[in-house]
Amino acid sequence: MYQQLVAAETKRLKLEFLIVPNTGHVTVLHPLMTEMLKFFLSDANESIHL
């Protein structure tokens, strides 16, 4: 269940990142996602950076 949630959130976040202008800042729409964002940014930098 948790793995599926993470996968779904990852896809959703990547879609949101795609429409955010590359300002060098990450817009966190859901505060509870902060820890997951830290993990994604440290583990998958290339796939998130535009």
Listed residue (49, 43, 42, 36) closest to 10, CA to CA? 36
Q: In total, how many domains does the chain have?
A: 1
Structural domain range at position 29? 2-48
- Is the pTM above the cut of 0.85? no
Q: Given the structure tokens 């509870």, which residue do they identify? A: 32
Cα 47 to Cα 50: distance, rounded to the nearest angstrom: 8
> HSE on the CB side for 24, CA within 13 Å?
0
Convert the pLDDT of each residue in 7-45 to its tens digit: 777 776 666 655 455 555 555 555 556 667 677 666 555
Q: Are 20 and 27 in contact (CB under 8 A)?
A: yes
CB atoms under 10 Å from CB of 26, counted, come to 15
